[in-house]
Amino acid sequence: MNELLREFNEGKPRALARAISQCESGEGAPLIAALYARTGNAVTVGLTGPPGVGKSTLSAGLVRKARALAKRVGVVSVDPSSPFSHGALLGDRIRLSEHFTDPNVFIRSMASRGHIGGLAGATADAVLLMDAFGFDLVLIETVGAGQNEVEIAELAQTTIVALQPGSGDSVQALKAGIMEIADIFVVNKADHPMAQQLYREIRSMMQILEYSGWVPELLMTQAIEGVGVGELWNAIQRHAAYLNESGEIGRRRKEAFAHQVRQIAAGRIGGLLDRAIATDSGDGDPYAAAARALQTLGVAE
């Protein structure tokens, strides 16, 4: 591990890659312990939205913008892939390929394993590692549908929710509770005939919610042409300024910390719980069996 830490501290991307892999295989604790003091400097931005909305294109646009400003960028692309096959399709990453040879851009696909919490615990580790590695911006990109996007809001200081016109997204967004997590709304594919309508619907929904403090920004983009990406970048900066000036950043970091602690602890308990259940008699009803499992774990209720 010392060798790995040395290379990590020298800024070698392969050390970052190996460190993330180590976290993915559940061996990240000593690395995070060693590097945690160096975290807290990156701007962390979550980007979520339904499949096909253009998240990868938006990410690519933000990465390009960041590079034009000489910022170093890490991208974590979380793939809600099969909990059975553990495979991740890499198709979406292709749009980021122009940055594959840029040493100041590091892109990592991770599978959310369908375990407790949705987003892999290793995602939070990867964000910490990219932060400690010295990236100015860490983008976390995930398909949003139910659970993942709530996780992303816990993890990132700024959450962008991208929606697409003509897909019934707005109503679904409300249903899935993503109205509440968005710091910035993006209507992508602004050239779509229904774009204005979606924009107005989101605007109306926002009026129903009572925001205290930050009121989400609502932007239109056409990411594939780069239209609106500069404005999106500026909105991220405005939100970062708000977080810092209001002191909200401290609360968000504390929440992100607690969230990760919970994920780690729940993951460890989950393994013990599975073992307790597998060796249980299976007698009686599920509540009785659950009580026995808790007893096996040593948890006093």
Cβ at position 197, least distance to its own copies in Å:
16
- Residue 132 binds to its own copies (criterion: CB under 8 A): no
On whether the CB atoms of residues 51 and 81 are closer than 8 A, the answer is: no
Between 110 and 229, CB nearer to its own copies: 110
Q: Looking only at residues 151 through 180 of this chain, which bind its own copies when binding is defined by CB under 8 A? A: 168, 171-172, 174-177, 179-180
**Binding test (CB under 8 A) with its own copies, winner from 68, 116, 215, 241:** 116
Question: For residues 95 and 290, what is the distance between their CA atoms, to the nearest angstrom?
Answer: 47
Between 104 and 159, CB nearer to its own copies: 159
Q: What is the DSSP letter of 92?
A: G
- Residue 260 binds to its own copies (criterion: CB under 8 A): yes
- Residue 70 binds to its own copies (criterion: CB under 8 A): no
Cβ at position 128, least distance to its own copies in Å:
8
Check residue 300 and give left, alpha or beta (phi > 0: left; psi -120 to 50: alpha). beta
b/e for 248-262, b at 16 or more Cβ within 10 A?
A: eeeebeeebeebbee
Q: Where are the alpha helices (DSSP H) in the chain?
A: 2-9, 13-24, 29-35, 55-68, 121-132, 148-155, 169-175, 195-208, 229-246, 248-278, 286-297
Check residue 11 and give left, alpha or beta (phi > 0: left; psi -120 to 50: alpha). left
Q: Which stretch binds its own copies (CB under 8 A): 110-118, 190-198, 225-233, 240-248?
A: 110-118
Cβ at position 71, least distance to its own copies in Å:
25
- Residue 36 binds to its own copies (criterion: CB under 8 A): yes
Q: What is the DSSP letter of 145?
A: S
- Residue 250 binds to its own copies (criterion: CB under 8 A): no
Cβ at position 123, least distance to its own copies in Å:
13
- Residue 215 binds to its own copies (criterion: CB under 8 A): no
Cβ at position 163, least distance to its own copies in Å:
13
For residue 163, list its beta bridge partners. 187
